[in-house]
């Protein structure tokens, strides 16, 4: 597991961040299609960490956050690595190329990333077909699959709810739970969907179509506590199953000025704010929280779970630490 930090990461970090990401994902996709390669991956054992959250069984509380495997190409490999659940996406109703490159930037001294990808993905129809084929192949993972859906860039805000519903209809038979991403800073105007009237309409229209899948909402770390209160109240009113807290931040004060870029900041600089929001939600709501953002050590993970998170998710910490982070967290718990 230490070979990633000693050998693989230095090689990957010499590459353009997005090219390195695509290379790693392609390798994991190849592994996912090979039973014997899957068997040689180290899989940490965590029998004592099993839990049931919003009616789903999780072999451990550590998940892969949305954004890493947007198109769902490496699900068996994520399970083999030891993740307790996977969240793919963000997926939009139609394919999108996203924003112009370069659009991912490393800040190694801060163990951080800035991205402005813009929901680049193959679209709900193509990804649905890939998932159906995986299910038919018999290689479907034995851990919960979350599907994160977002707004198509060209769709105006007043039509956003219908756009989310279109994606949900195409994918609702394939996900174990669903997350409404209304908090990415990289789709113009998207965060306005966190306002009460718009988000209430979104929750309501999705639930009309929902056959009973757990439905969660992913919120921004840049919200005020009163804004969070509004979203929590509406989540309860519309019978949502939980909250994913938090997305990336547009507050870049925690990183060197010369490294700042337009986009969402993730990694260690987000740790304190994400934890603060988790603790706030726990103090005012009984809704389950999936905590993500700034988890880069085993101690970070333990603090989140001790602070009331039902589940946690990794992204930037996994890029910097690799599979060793997953093993360290499981060992510490």
Instruction: Check pLDDT > 70 for residue 305.
Output: yes
pLDDT at residue 47, as a whole number: 80
283 phi, psi to nearest 5 deg: -80, -20
Per-residue confidence band for 15, with pLDDT thresholds at 50, 70 and 90 = very high
Is 332 annotated as catalytic? no
d(CA 117, CA 179): 18
Q: What is the dihedral of CA 43, 46, 51, 53, to 10 degrees?
A: -30
Identify the domain containing residue 73 by its residue range.
3-332
Q: What order do you get walking across the sheet with 104-107 strand by strand?
A: 104-107, 112-115, 264-267
pLDDT for the residue numbered 3:
81
Kindly report, residue by residue over 198-238, the tens digit of the pLDDT.
999 999 999 999 999 999 999 999 999 999 999 999 999 99
Q: How many angstroms separate the CA atoms of 227 and 37, rounded?
A: 47
Catalytic residue of the set 32, 183, 184, 241: 184
Residue 125 belongs to a domain with what CATH number? 3.20.20.70
Instruction: Give the pLDDT confidence score for residue 45 in this predicted structure.
Output: 67
Say yes or no to pLDDT of 42 above 80: no
* Structural domain count of the chain: 1
85-136 per-position pLDDT tens digit:
999 999 999 999 999 999 999 999 999 999 999 999 999 999 999 999 999 9
């Amino acid at each position: 597991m230490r070979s990633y930090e000693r050998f693989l990461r230095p090689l990957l970090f010499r590459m353009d961040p997005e090219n390195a990401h695509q290379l790693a994902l392609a390798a994991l996709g190849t592994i996912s299609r090979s039973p014997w390669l899957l068997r040689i991956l180290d899989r940490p054992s965590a029998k004592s960490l099993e839990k049931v959250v919003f009616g789903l069984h999780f072999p451990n509380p550590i998940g892969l956050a949305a954004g890493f495997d947007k198109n769902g190409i490496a699900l068996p490999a994520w399970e083999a690595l030891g993740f307790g659940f996977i969240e793919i996406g963000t997926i939009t109703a139609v394919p999108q190329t996203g924003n112009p490159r370069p659009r991912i930037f490393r800040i190694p001294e801060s163990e951080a990333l800035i991205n402005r990808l813009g929901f680049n993905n193959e679209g709900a129809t193509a990804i649905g077909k890939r998932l159906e084929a995986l299910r038919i192949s018999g290689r479907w993972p034995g851990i919960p699959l979350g599907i994160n859906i977002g707004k198509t860039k060209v769709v105006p805000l007043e039509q956003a709810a219908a756009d989310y519903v279109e994606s949900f209809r195409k994918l609702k038979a394939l996900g174990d739970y669903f997350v409404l991403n209304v908090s990415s800073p990289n789709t113009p105007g998207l965060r306005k969907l966190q306002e009460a009237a718009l988000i209430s309409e979104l929750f309501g229209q999705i639930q009309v179509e929902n056959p009973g899948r757990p439905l969660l909402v992913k919120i921004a770390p840049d919200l005020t506590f009163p804004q969070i209160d509004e979203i929590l109240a509406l989540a309860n009113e519309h019978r949502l199953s939980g909250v994913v807290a938090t997305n990336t931040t547009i507050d870049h004060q925690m990183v060197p000025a010369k490294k700042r870029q337009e986009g969402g900041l993730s990694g260690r600089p987000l740790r304190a704010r994400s934890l603060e929001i988790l603790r706030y939600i726990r103090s005012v709501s009984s809704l389950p929280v999936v905590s993500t953002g700034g988890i880069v050590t085993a101690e970070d993970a333990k603090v989140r779970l001790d602070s009331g998170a039902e589940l946690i998710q990794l992204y930037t910490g996994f890029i910097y630490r690799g599979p060793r982070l997953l093993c360290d967290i499981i060992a510490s718990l």
